[in-house]
Amino acid sequence: MAAAFVGALTVFLAPDEWAGRLAFAISLVPFVGSLYLWSGFEAGGNALLGGEIAYATQIEWLEVGGRSVSWFVGLDGISLPLFVLTTFLVPLAILSAWTPVDTRQSQFYGLMLFMEANLLGVFAALDFFLWFVFWEAVLVPMYFLIGIWGGPRRKYAAIKFFVYTNAASLLMFIGFMSLVFALGDSVSSFALPEIAQAIAAGDLGTWFGIPPDRIAMVAFLAMFLGFAVKVPIVPFHTWLPDAHVQAPTPASVLLAGVLLKMGTYALLRFNFTMLPEQASMLAIPIAAIAVVSVIYGAMLALAQKDLKRIVAYSSVSSMGYVILGLVVFTEYGVGGATFQMVAHGLISGLMFMAVGVIYNATHTRMVGDMAGMADRMPVTVGILVAGAFGYMGLPLMAGFAGEFFIFVGSLSAPALPYAPVFTALAMFGIVIVAGYLLSAMQSTLFGPFELETDYEVGPAAFHDVAPLAVLLVAIIVLGVAPDIFFEMIRDAAVPVVEGVTIDG
C-alpha cells in the first residue's frame, strides 16, 4: 500500500513520456507484496468474529468522544482474495491504458495508483474510521478518471457517480454511527471486530429513547441502502451504466473489477456479519431484490446495442448472484459469494479490457456497426469469446465455480424460505446471459468484416493483448482449482454463518 501511495506521487510528477511504463513497474511492487502476504498467510476464522487476523497492525491514532480510532489493518480469508485481486488487476489495467490514454498521462497513472492504494486500504482496514477514509478516498480518483479521460458525456457521468455514491456513503455512515451510539460505553474503540462482537453479545442499548432492535433495523436498512448503491443492486444501479460507458477502459476495469466489490464486501462485513438477525428477518425481500437484479440486469443487457453497456449491465446481474449468496447464509453461499466477487472481478475486467481493445481499433462499440472482427483481431476476439464463456458460467472457469458454490449454498438454505424458488429464478438468469452474450458475439465477431473505416484495423499491440491473456489464464486457473482461494474463504465464512444459526 505504501508502495502504491509513494508510487502515485512519483508518477504524478513524472513526465508524460514514460509515466505509463513507470506506473506499471511500480504497480508490480504491491502485487509481489500481496503474493508474499498470500504465501505466508495463516489466519483462521473471520477477522470480525474473533478469528485470527493475519498481518494485524494496530497503532493508536486519535480519540473521538471517548472511543479510540487506530490505524488497524489486517487480512482474513475474506479480504485477502480481494486484496490480491486488486493488486493483480491494477498492473493489467495500467498496461491496458498504454494505447487509449494519450493526454495528461502522468496524472492518469498517478490517479490509478492512488486509487489502488485506497482500494487496498478498504479491504485491509479493520477500524471503521480508517475504513471510511479509504472508502471515500476511492471516489476522488475515480471521479477524475471518468471526468477527464472519459467518453463524450464524461462530466455528467462523473458527477452522477460522485453524487450517487457520496449520498449513499452518508446514509451508510449515519446507519453505522447509530449502531455505535447505541452500543454506548460497551465499546471503547471504532475497531470493527470489537463492534461486531459487542453487537453479537447483545450490548446494543437504547439511544435517545429508541429501543435497540429498532436501531439495529434502521442501521441495517441505512447501511444496506448505502452499500446497495455501490454494488449496485436494482433499483440503485442507474449510475453504473453511465459511469461505465463514459469511463476510460482502465477505469472501467477497476470500477467493475474492484469498486463494485467494495459494496458487496462491505455488505458482507457490516450488514451480514454484524446484524445477522436483521438480515435473516429481511431475507425474503433481499433475496427478491437479488433475483430481480439478476433477471432485470440481464434483460437490460439483452436490450443494449453498445458492447460496453452490455458488459456493464451484466455486472448488475452478476452482483445479484453475490447478494443471493450472502443472504442464504450457508457456508457455500457466503463463501461462494466471496469467490464470485473475485471471479467476477477477473472476468468483467477481461471483458472491459477486450472491448476497450476493440474500441481502440475500430472506434465503435455498437453491435450493429461491427461484424467479422474475428478476421482482423483473432487473438483479442478469441480471448473475448473465452471471457464471455466465463461470464456464462462455463465449467472450468472461475465464473462457474462461483455461481456453482452460490447455487449449492442457496438450494439448501435454512435461513431463507422458498430458497429453491429463488435459486431457480436466479439460475434462469444464466440462460439470458448466455443468450445475449452469444448473440452479441455472433453479430460482432463473426461473419464478413463490414466496418468501413479510413484506417487500418489490425491485430492489437502486444501490450494490449498481454493483460487479456494473463487474465484469461487466471480465470481458468481459478476455475480449475477454486480451492486455492476457496479454502481460506470458507474458513472465514463459516463463523458468519454460525452467527445466524445461533441467533435465529
Can you give the binding site for other proteins, defined by CB under 8 A? 12-13, 60-65, 104, 107, 118, 132-137, 140, 144, 147-148, 154-155, 158-159, 162, 166, 170, 181, 208
CB 364, min distance to other proteins, A? 24
Buried b / exposed e over 299-332, threshold 16 CB at 10 Å, is ebbbebebbbbbbbbbbbbbbbbbbbbbbbbbbb
Smaller CB distance to other proteins: residue 140 or 221? 140
CB 248, min distance to other proteins, A? 14
Smaller CB distance to other proteins: residue 111 or 367? 111
Write down the residue that cell numbers 463524450 correspond to.
152
Smaller CB distance to other proteins: residue 101 or 401? 101
**479, 483, 488, 493 alpha-carbon torsion, rounded to 10°:** 70
CB 204, min distance to other proteins, A? 18
Smaller CB distance to other proteins: residue 13 or 484? 13
At 199, which amino acid appears? I
Q: Assess contact for 490 and 335: CB atoms under 8 A.
A: yes
- Around Cβ 59, how many Cβ atoms within 10 Å? 8
Smaller CB distance to other proteins: residue 132 or 359? 132
CB 135, min distance to other proteins, A? 7
d(CA 422, CA 287): 7
CB 203, min distance to other proteins, A? 19
CB 229, min distance to other proteins, A? 16
Smaller CB distance to other proteins: residue 154 or 308? 154
Element (H or E) spanning 68, and its range?
strand 67-75
Three-state secondary structure call for residue 189: strand
d(CA 230, CA 494): 25
Residues 6+ apart with CB under 8 A from 226: 168, 169, 170, 171, 172, 173, 175
CB 309, min distance to other proteins, A? 22
Helices (H), 331-397: 331-362, 373-376, 378-392
d(CA 322, CA 345): 12
Smaller CB distance to other proteins: residue 12 or 446? 12
d(CA 370, CA 357): 14
